């Protein structure tokens, strides 16, 4: 079946007892057993397995072209569980423009457990080759990145990583693109990671994360860790993401359509110093983006003239664009990453320009969005 059909049906069957079309929210922590050590249908305890979560996990696997999906309490919980595949002394090579919270987890938490991290420019596959060491076990990519929308050629990096004698695992954070726009497993990645808080949920009402893999042995190690560490997604949140995913294709098309109208406007605006959008002709990796993504997505970043003051005045003047962190919901959001989402990387090599403004373009009417940006830019 094709993507749009899978988004609505994968992992979901009408409930056998009463025919309910929507997957029920199984609010249960435990399950009656048929006899000692004889669980029914493999359900014993909801940290290990819950039917609502399982439906979502099957759906995620289908959408990413994987074989196994795992749902977690947040994107960072998913990331943390993946990192527990490693042993003390192992080295991780990560992109130098990863999500601020990912950087903080790697640099401020996991370093204390004797994992080594190098942050390299993954948009240049050669610099990935140069930064691999004899102890590298994991390569962590994000594409497009948050907030600079840098694009990495997943296939080119996969070839380099897999040619290395260690055969490190390649993980791709696919939060910004979603499986509708880009499927990293088909381009050679071993694992896909999501913050489902963003486009997969799509309605700014849930925090969740996911890991999707193809390989059975890797999946078994991750399922062990998911249960042993315990940062699982609850049944209500699983239901909300399942529901959100049903409209993912139509939402993503509209996000991108609206974004392209705003991109044309911003590219010509005298107060915009530099526009960043993966499918815009000025983007340095535009060709790669067009090859590996279906459309340019709903995220736009731009540098505004007049520095931090100007950026702050503009975002505070926006009315329809809500001043808020996060992204990927149906409603448009605006923020200044250096002072908000990316404060945790201030002073590090991932530092963000204070005049950068990030838009998460929603699916409201294009003219209303344009009008709001037009009036807000007058305050810049």
Segments in 47-137 forming alpha helices (H):
51-63, 75-83, 100-104, 125-131
Find the shortest distance in angstroms from Cβ 353 to ligand PLP.
Answer: 18
- Catalytic (active site) residue 90: no
Please state the φ and ψ torsions of residue 294, each to the nearest 5 degrees: -75, -40
Q: Which residues have C-beta within 8 Å of that of residue 129, sequence separation ≥ 6?
A: 160
In this chain, which stretch among 74-82, 250-258, 311-319, 362-370 interacts with ligand PLP, using CB under 6 A? 74-82
Measured distance CA(68)–CA(211) in Å, rounded? 8
**DSSP run (H or E) holding 161:** helix 154-163
The two beta strands, 136-142 and 91-95, are: parallel
Q: Which residues have C-beta within 8 Å of that of residue 47, sequence separation ≥ 6?
A: 227, 230, 232
In this chain, which stretch among 40-48, 70-78, 132-140, 277-285 interacts with ligand PLP, using CB under 6 A? 70-78
- Catalytic (active site) residue 205: no
Segments in 247-328 forming alpha helices (H):
248-267, 286-292, 307-317
Could you say which of 49, 53, 80, 99 is catalytic? 99
For residue 43, the 8-state DSSP code is B
- Quote the tokens at residue 112: 């204390």
- Catalytic (active site) residue 268: no
99 belongs to the binding site for ligand PLP (CB under 6 A) = yes
Per CB under 6 A, contacts with ligand PLP among 38-57 are: none
Under rule CB under 6 A, how many of the chain's residues touch ligand PLP?
16
Could you say which of 80, 97, 153, 173 is catalytic? 173
Find the shortest distance in angstroms from Cβ 208 to ligand PLP.
Answer: 6
Could you say which of 137, 150, 183, 198 is catalytic? 198
User: Which of residues 183 and 380 has its CB atom nearest to ligand PLP in the complex?
Assistant: 183
User: Which of residues 278 and 377 has its CB atom nearest to ligand PLP in the complex?
Assistant: 278
Cis previous bond, 352, omega within 30: no
- Catalytic (active site) residue 47: yes
Per CB under 6 A, contacts with ligand PLP among 148-207 are: 173, 175-176, 195, 197-198, 207
User: Which of residues 207 and 289 has its CB atom nearest to ligand PLP in the complex?
Assistant: 207
Q: Which chain residues interact with ligand PLP by CB under 6 A?
A: 74-76, 99, 101-102, 142, 146, 173, 175-176, 195, 197-198, 207, 209
Q: Which residues are catalytic?
A: 47, 99, 173, 198
């Amino acid at each position: 079946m094709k993507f749009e059909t899978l988004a609505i049906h994968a992992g979901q069957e009408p409930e056998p007892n009463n025919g309910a079309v929507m997957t029920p929210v199984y609010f249960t922590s435990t399950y009656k057993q048929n006899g000692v050590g004889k669980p029914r249908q493999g359900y014993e305890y909801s940290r290990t397995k819950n039917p609502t979560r399982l439906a979502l996990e099957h759906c995620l696997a289908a959408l990413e072209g994987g074989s196994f999906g795992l749902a977690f309490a947040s994107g960072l919980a998913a990331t943390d569980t993946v990192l527990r595949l490693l042993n003390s002394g192992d080295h991780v090579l990560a992109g130098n423009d990863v999500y601020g919270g990912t950087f903080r987890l790697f640099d401020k938490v996991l370093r204390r457990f004797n994992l080594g991290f190098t942050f390299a420019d993954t948009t240049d596959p050669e610099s990935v080759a140069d930064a691999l060491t004899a102890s590298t076990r994991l390569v962590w990519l994000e594409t497009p990145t948050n907030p600079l929308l840098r694009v990495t050629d997943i296939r080119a990096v996969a070839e380099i990583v897999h040619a290395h004698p260690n055969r490190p695992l390649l993980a791709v954070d696919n939060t910004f693109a979603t499986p509708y726009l880009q499927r990293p497993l088909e381009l050679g990645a071993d694992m896909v990671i999501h913050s489902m808080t963003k486009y997969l949920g799509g309605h700014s009402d849930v925090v969740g994360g996911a890991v999707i893999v193809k390989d059975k042995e890797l999946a078994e190690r991750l399922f062990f860790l998911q249960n042993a560490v315990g940062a699982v997604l609850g049944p209500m949140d699983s239901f909300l993401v399942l529901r959100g995913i049903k409209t993912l294709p139509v939402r993503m098309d509209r996000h991108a359509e609206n974004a392209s109208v705003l991109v044309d406007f911003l590219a010509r605006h005298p107060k915009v110093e530099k526009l960043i959008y993966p499918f815009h002709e000025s983007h340095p990796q535009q060709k790669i983006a067009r090859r590996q993504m279906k459309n340019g997505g709903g995220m736009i970043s731009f540098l505004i003239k007049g520095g931090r003051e100007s950026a702050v005045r503009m975002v505070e003047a926006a009315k329809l664009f809500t001043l808020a962190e996060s992204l990927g919901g149906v409603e448009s959001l605006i923020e200044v990453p250096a002072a908000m989402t990316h404060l945790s990387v201030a002073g590090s090599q991932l530092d963000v320009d204070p005049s950068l403004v990030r838009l998460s373009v929603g699916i409201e009417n294009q003219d209303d969005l344009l009008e709001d940006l037009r009036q807000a830019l007058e305050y810049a």
